[in-house]
Chain A
């Protein structure tokens, strides 16, 4: 079974600054994928970024980057140059051999002008 831990229930960040959202995971699967999703107040789930367990490079997608430290079992999301539209709930998720995508409890990000 997989377990995803997001220890920051809420964070405030100033517009144009960077913010790091923590995610640690626990799995016994040798191969797995790590995902981050954004959920605005509208409720939709928006896929942001993916990191494979065997990927050598940290994933990047525009202003999103994933700080993957396999030995520490962490997959932190970095949002650079925060915008007001980044205010949302962010979920870390993992998929292993059982194909289920298991989610963490989420972190609420509020961007201040």
Chain B
């Protein structure tokens, strides 16, 4: 079946502009995550959605970052007033709600490469 889909794959924007990144999770996956990966570095957790529960926003770096998810489907990550330090690859991942939450691997999209000039 289809994997996690992210759009756009690349986005170049000017400093100060707002951007919106989209993620379509695997159908039936109730959990959805956003991560940020700066060049040559590891993955930094941003936000987690699980079904209709309140999202875990503990990783969002500032109030310029926000994310929404409609039910158990599409999610959008919005960055307002972009700064150069926001330049990174933004990865979305989804996982199923297994009986044992610990062993459900995350399935990642190919990411959106954001460049702020």
Contact = CB atoms under 8 A, between A and B. Distances in A.
B42 A100 contact: no
Contacts of B59: 100
A43 B89 contact: yes
Contacts, number: 56
Contacts of A106: 41-42
Contact of B50 (A52, A99, A103, A104): A99
A33 B56 contact: no
Interface of A: 31-33, 35, 43-45, 47, 50, 52-53, 91, 93, 95-96, 98-106
Given A43-B89, A52-B102, A100 B45 contact: yes
Task: Please report whether the interface of chain B is mostly helix, strand, loop or mixed according to DSSP.
Answer: strand
Contacts of B101: 95, 99
A95 B42 contact: no
B110 A44 contact: yes
Contacts of B62: none
Given A32-B102, A47-B107, A103-B35, 7 more contacts: A35-B105, A44-B108, A47-B106, A50-B103, A91-B43, A100-B33, A100-B56
